[in-house]
Structure 1
Amino acid sequence: MATVEDRWTRKDRTRTAEYGKGLRWRAVWTEAGRERKKSFATKDAAKAHLTWIEHNQRSGTYVSQDRGRVYVKEILPDWFASQIHLKASTRQATKSDLAFTITPYWGDWILADIRRSDVQEWVSGMDKAPTTVETIYGRFRTFLNWCVQEGRIVVSPAKGVKMPKASKRPHTYLTPAQVRLLAGTIQPHYSRFIWALSLTGMRIGELTELRYGDIDRRRRRANVTRAVAWVNGTAVVGTPKSNLGREVPLSNKVLEVIGDGPPRDLIFTSPRGMRLRPNNFRSSALKKAVAAACEADPAFPPGMYAHDLRHTAASLAVSAGANVKALQRMLGHANASLTLNLYAGLFDTDLNEVATRIDGLFSAGED
């Protein structure tokens, strides 16, 4: 039976040995056959706590205090084992974040003792890029949400935590002449890789896993069903982003630079014929090529990234007449709204074209 006890005075109003020590009012209730107690400053607060417990016990939403009195490191493996929906590359990256960032910091914390301010302090003190901080925080937040679902805590302490602001870098689009220039300044082995990145819009992890057997030359299509991600120096092959396989249209120029080869062979490799590592490509080849292109063309963007070639492909496709839906399919976005949000500026010229066509409808009927 739930009751409220006065720790300081007895029923005959005489003082107890605890008089003046700690909080005066104690809520007492039964949980799973065991007596539980918690002290409060006022009698009303103790009553309110018992009312809350009674309501949640009846509704089945009550969380036992004992279930939250565990070390985070004791239950992190159970959470990770439950993440069977993750792609192989994401699972490997999550495992790495648990080992090197999350467990070293949170492992010896008692789950029930974690407060929102504790999570905020951790996030604010992480000496990493804003996008990396958000990714690692997202994994820990998912873990805490799982703890709520498992009935270990009532509310996730990650709720309401503020993320560091990342400055949004504007997209860089190369002109056709600049694509040609970059392909000519980079070391010859990577020239056709530049052309493929710039004209297909494939992600670098998709293109480095593309094999000759994925090319349908008759239909001029590339079947993109796999992608490779590098996690702690290990290549992990899985599905493309959002698990969306697709067909990418190939221009004659791309078909020319791709060439032919055994179906199982990778199309793009390192100069030594090994699997191409994006970081090596960026540091050893692309950086030097961009510098050389800037010397040849003062208008060439000096801070160009490899991913800007994907943006370039989007720009060239729109210039060639692609609509939002076609661009979405080409780039492998989950939906057209994502494509439009990313590349709305590329379609601004369409507005002028609409106005011109409307004028044409009326001028055609004028004398």
Structure 2
Amino acid sequence: MAWEAEKLSEVAKGTHLAPAGGKKTLREYYETQYKPRKEWAPGTVRAHDQAMKFCPFAERALRDINRTILQDWVASMRLTLKPLTVRTRYATIRGTLAAATRDRLIPFNPCTGIDLPSQKTTPWDIRIPTTQQVSQMLSRSVGAAHVALAAAAFNGLRASEIVGLQPRDITPPILKIRRQIRRVSRGVVEPVPPKYGSYRDIPLPTKLADLLMWQAESVGATGQEWLFPGNVAGNPISYASVRDWLLDATSDWAAEIRHLHALRHYYASALIGAKCDVVTVQRALGHKNPSMTLDVYSHLWETSADEVLEATTMLMSSVYTDRSALSPQSTGIQPGFEGCHGP
């Protein structure tokens, strides 16, 4: 009776563990219970599988994994791996053990309090192509290559979003971003939601709309067909094709800007230069949140002292509309503000 009462108490407190649950190895639990519940992209699956592959205690029983084992493992990884890699592999194990805790296989997650290597929070090293460089790039590109690179430079699209475009997305003055293309395996791709679920309607310049519609007409694409069809029937072109178009047209560019993301930076810098606020830029680029946009581009929003002075002068002018009504004499404040104390 005492044993039964103890178990009923554990159930009531939420501390009851599944019988023999902790005997499962970390790898067994990961493969049979944790991973099957996840809807990961293929690349994410590979990253988690790799973390488990190189985990030295993957064959240990869940109940035998303690904080000391975890801390020693992290310390050993720090000797040969970059901080980001250490944190990524650790996150896989932490997530697996957290799930085992929720499944009542172990009483608590031993990952609590583990010291991880810090990541340097240095500003992003953003290199932006000049307008002259972008103009030269486009002048060297023809046909589909010209259209794809223009979409990157003047609407900030990711390569995966460019290859996922369809004629139905072109609705001037708006370009609808409703999907990106994900590679499943060799020759097999699938349309998935945009990165971070960033479905968005981007203001579409007239000239870019004309280019996109020209591309649709040139390949005979309508409705849900691909704007940039590939060699494999039913598939769009690959990211590599867009990358190769850029490389072919930028042979004289410095390595730091010779990549497609530099064209997104070019687009973002134009928005910021036109005084667009951070939320507007974030939505146009499809960033996860405004803080991500600020992390990357905050230096482009630098405000000069003259702008601050102009803003505060205008602010005071809106309050001090009547000099006599709000003068130091009328409010009891002496010139120089002597005797005026803050809270």
Q: TM-score, normalised by structure 1?
A: 0.68
Conservation of the 8 A alpha-carbon contact between 2:77 and 2:86: no
Choose from 226, 251, 262 the match for 1:266: 226
Q: 1:312 offset after TM fit, Å? A: 1.8
Q: 1:168-224 deviations in whole A, cap 9, x for unaligned?
A: 54122223222212333467642322221121122222222111111102xx11111
1:238 aligned onto 2:192: yes
Aligned to 1:180: 135
Conservation of the 8 A alpha-carbon contact between 1:211 and 1:267: yes
Higher relative contact order (CA 8 A, sep 6+): 2
Task: Compare the two structures and name the one with the higher strand fraction.
Answer: 1
The 1:182–1:55 alpha-carbon spacing in structure 2 relative to 1, beyond 3 Å, is farther
Conservation of the 8 A alpha-carbon contact between 1:246 and 1:332: yes
Q: 1:239 offset after TM fit, Å? A: 0.9
Give the residue type in structure 2 aligned to 1:93. Answer: G
Q: Matches of 1:166 and 1:230 in 2, distance apart?
A: 32
Q: Matches of 2:230 and 2:304 in 1, distance apart?
A: 41
Identity %: 24
1:320 aligned onto 2:274: yes
Conservation of the 8 A alpha-carbon contact between 2:278 and 2:293: yes
1:291 aligned onto 2:243: no
Q: 1:326 offset after TM fit, Å? A: 1.6
Any idea what SS the aligned residue of 1:157 has? coil
Larger radius of gyration: 1
1:113 aligned onto 2:113: no
Conservation of the 8 A alpha-carbon contact between 2:170 and 2:213: no
Conservation of the 8 A alpha-carbon contact between 2:246 and 2:258: no
Choose from 227, 243, 262 the match for 1:308: 262
Conservation of the 8 A alpha-carbon contact between 2:128 and 2:265: yes
Q: Matches of 1:73 and 1:32 in 2, distance apart?
A: 34
Structure 2 residue runs of 5 or longer lacking an equivalent are 217-221, 322-343
> For 1:207-286, what aligned pairs fall within 5 Å after superposition?
207-217=162-172, 220-233=173-186, 234-260=188-214, 261=216, 262-269=222-229, 275-279=236-240, 281-282=242-243, 284-286=244-246
Q: 1:46-96 deviations in whole A, cap 9, x for unaligned?
A: xxxxxxxx996773325468321112232222112322xx4xxx3433433
How many corresponding residue pairs? 306
Aligned to 2:77: 125
Q: Matches of 2:248 and 2:68 in 1, distance apart?
A: 45
Aligned to 1:102: 52
Any idea what SS the aligned residue of 1:291 has? coil
Aligned to 2:155: 200
Q: TM-score, normalised by structure 2?
A: 0.72
Aligned to 2:43: 93
Any idea what SS the aligned residue of 2:45 has? helix
Any idea what SS the aligned residue of 1:228 has? strand
Conservation of the 8 A alpha-carbon contact between 1:187 and 1:289: no
Any idea what SS the aligned residue of 1:259 has? helix
Q: Matches of 1:340 and 1:173 in 2, distance apart?
A: 16
